[in-house]
Structure 1
Amino acid sequence: MRTEVVGAGGARIGVRVEGNEAAPAIVFVHGWAQSAKAWDRQFADPELRRRFRMVALDLRGHGASDVPAGGYDDPETWAGDLAAVLGLAGEPAVVVGWSYGGLVIADYLRVRGTAGLAGIVLVGAITEIGRGRAGGRVGPAMRGALPDALSADLDVALPALTGLARGMAARELPGPTAQSLLGASLAVPPSVRGALFRREVDSAEVLAAVDVPTLVLHGTEDAVVDVTAGEYAAGKIPGCATRWWEGVGHLPFVEAASEFDATLLRFAGERATGA
């Protein structure tokens, strides 16, 4: 089912909802220049669907959401959008942030703390952004794509975004999957792709204040977000658990979907039972 909520500043935020309506929620937050479709394999997992209400938003400027002119550099904006989705999902919820989605979660924490959160899962995620920020360190695939991936000139942006899509996995992706990733990136206006990078964010104190169970998952071969960004977040968050996937890139929920789903089931199940 597709629906929408009203986020910060009145922006309509597209939301995908499936699974068990009476169950605790898992809220999925995708990465830069992607969409809720990134979580297709999780939404198709029968056990996840049976045990949880599955909710995935399209970030503002992405997918089916509105494309406001501004707000992309404001933590209050991202916190307001995520809060609106959590209100639809039902609180407390486990929130899963992939790539830039980790920074969106950090913005929520910065503004609202852990209110409404049962647990946090960071997947190949950044939690900071800006030159020299350890929690935002990127890998060669992202460095190679910038700044051309932000260009409004298709002849410039297309090769960069194609290379980034190819560089997301440690091994070659099936053609339809790679094209879906590329298509999602091209569907995001260049102005939005650029706006998400025009930020300077330090999250050390925010991460240190997290008081709900947190799990950091990262592929050791991630060429988009360097594994040290995951290590940084894990080192700041009190009691944080970690899982490093050998030979996996930026898409553990695709490259190692069965293991990822089993790990998420266990983590979210423990939060649902209060373990």
Structure 2
Amino acid sequence: MAPAFEPMVGRYLRTMIDGVPHRIYFEEAGQGIPLVCLHTAGADGRQYRHLMADPEVTRRFRVLAFDMPWHGKSTPPDGWQKDEYRLTTATYTSTIRAFCETMKLDRPVVMGCSIGGRVVLNLAIAHASEFRALIALEAADFQQPWYDTAWLHRPDVHGGEVCAALVSGLVAPQSPPASRHETLWMYMQSGPGVFKGDLYFYRVDGDLRDKVKAIDTNVCPLYLLTGEYDFSCTPEDTLRTARHIPGAEVQIMKELGHFPMSEYPAKFREYILPVLERIATTS
């Protein structure tokens, strides 16, 4: 059998984040407009592998997906064992900007999902001029927590399995079984306490309800796309947020849940390709 290589290539990047040295793993494919993809809480950049393997995307976009520190193949910074991991809005934003700056990306598009979608809103609030367009998947200015984070890091509970169990209901019922279980497998591999630390940003530090009104879509276009089966960031949450952002384009995606790019890549493609087409032809 002849080898069949997928187009993405992975590398490690050394960069400074808030004055601290970090080693970041990322994969990329394609050429053209930089498209930086942000994974969900407790997961990693593999969620975007289908996007990076899609020639319709990569012929005009240089797709880059990096693993956040502590996630996937990105190691925590030295001395990590001394502190509890807690993701904050400031650190999350600094990480994205540091990656883009170190990679010398010229006004990239940034697309994030879940916590990645929430931080995209913060990029639109505080750093819009640095980006060509922003795409927030499964994003809102705030969601009421529906989970108990105490279960996510306990010595008497298998952390990976309970993380996957927690998010399993967020996958739409139409999702192909192989894609569903691939999405959950990434959660089973999450490091101890990482999902819980991400949710600190999601439920405590990342409340943007009083801030999204400052977003100016004339500076940077903003697209909001949410799956109809998402009960973490519900369609109502996203629509409520969009009402406070004049010019934001919002769409509720049928037959999709909280992880559209990995749970049902073919269906997600139907929604994201027109958005990317518009960005490519108008930016």
What TM-score do you get using the length of structure 1 for normalisation? 0.82
Residues 180 and 263 in structure 2, CA contact (< 8 A), matched pair in contact too: no
Kindly report which structure 2 residues correspond to 1:61-100, keeping only aligned pairs within 5 A, or say none: 61-68=70-77, 69=80, 72-87=86-101, 88=103, 90-100=105-115
What amino acid is aligned across from residue 203 of structure 1 in structure 2? L
C-alpha RMSD of the superposition: 2.6
Note the C-alpha offset of 1:165. Answer: 4.3
| 1:210 equivalent in structure 2 | 215
What amino acid is aligned across from residue 276 of structure 2 in structure 1? A
Partner residue of 2:242 out of 230, 234, 240: 234
Note the C-alpha offset of 1:31. Answer: 0.6
Note the C-alpha offset of 1:158. Answer: 4.8
Secondary structure in structure 2 of the residue aligned to 1:222: coil
Residues 41 and 199 in structure 2, CA contact (< 8 A), matched pair in contact too: no
What amino acid is aligned across from residue 197 of structure 2 in structure 1? A
| 2:205 equivalent in structure 1 | 200
Note the C-alpha offset of 1:175. Answer: 4.6
Partner residue of 1:54 out of 50, 63, 77: 63
The change in CA–CA distance for 1:189 and 1:30 in structure 2 (over 3 A counts) is: same
What amino acid is aligned across from residue 184 of structure 2 in structure 1? L
Partner residue of 1:136 out of 135, 143, 148: 143
Q: Does 1:248 align with 2:256?
A: yes
The change in CA–CA distance for 1:268 and 1:177 in structure 2 (over 3 A counts) is: closer
Note the C-alpha offset of 1:244. Answer: 0.7
| 1:130 equivalent in structure 2 | none
The change in CA–CA distance for 1:217 and 1:175 in structure 2 (over 3 A counts) is: same
Residues 106 and 206 in structure 1, CA contact (< 8 A), matched pair in contact too: no
Note the C-alpha offset of 1:187. Answer: 2.7
Unaligned runs of 5+ in 2: 1-8
The separation in 1 between residues aligned to 2:250 and 2:222, in whole angstroms, is 9
Residues 171 and 180 in structure 2, CA contact (< 8 A), matched pair in contact too: no
Kindly report which structure 2 residues correspond to 1:1-275, keeping only aligned pairs within 5 A, or say none: 1-5=9-13, 6-8=15-17, 9-20=20-31, 23-68=32-77, 69=80, 72-87=86-101, 88=103, 90-109=105-124, 112-127=126-141, 135-137=142-144, 143=146, 146-147=148-149, 149-153=151-155, 155-171=157-173, 173-198=175-200, 199-211=204-216, 212-274=220-282
What amino acid is aligned across from residue 277 of structure 2 in structure 1? G
| 2:5 equivalent in structure 1 | none
The change in CA–CA distance for 1:257 and 1:182 in structure 2 (over 3 A counts) is: closer
The separation in 1 between residues aligned to 2:156 and 2:121, in whole angstroms, is 32
- Structure having the larger proportion of residues in helix: 1
Secondary structure in structure 1 of the residue aligned to 2:136: strand
What TM-score do you get using the length of structure 2 for normalisation? 0.80
The separation in 2 between residues aligned to 1:161 and 1:11, in whole angstroms, is 26
What amino acid is aligned across from residue 157 of structure 1 in structure 2? G
What amino acid is aligned across from residue 76 of structure 1 in structure 2? A
The separation in 2 between residues aligned to 1:126 and 1:13, in whole angstroms, is 27
Note the C-alpha offset of 1:52. Answer: 0.7
What amino acid is aligned across from residue 79 of structure 1 in structure 2? T
Residues 15 and 85 in structure 1, CA contact (< 8 A), matched pair in contact too: no
The separation in 1 between residues aligned to 2:274 and 2:173, in whole angstroms, is 27
What amino acid is aligned across from residue 41 of structure 1 in structure 2? H
Residues 94 and 119 in structure 1, CA contact (< 8 A), matched pair in contact too: yes
Consecutive aligned runs of 4 or more in structure 1 exceeding 6 Å deviation:
none
The change in CA–CA distance for 1:256 and 1:241 in structure 2 (over 3 A counts) is: farther
The separation in 2 between residues aligned to 1:181 and 1:153, in whole angstroms, is 24
Figure out how many residues of one structure are paired with residues of the other and give that number. 260
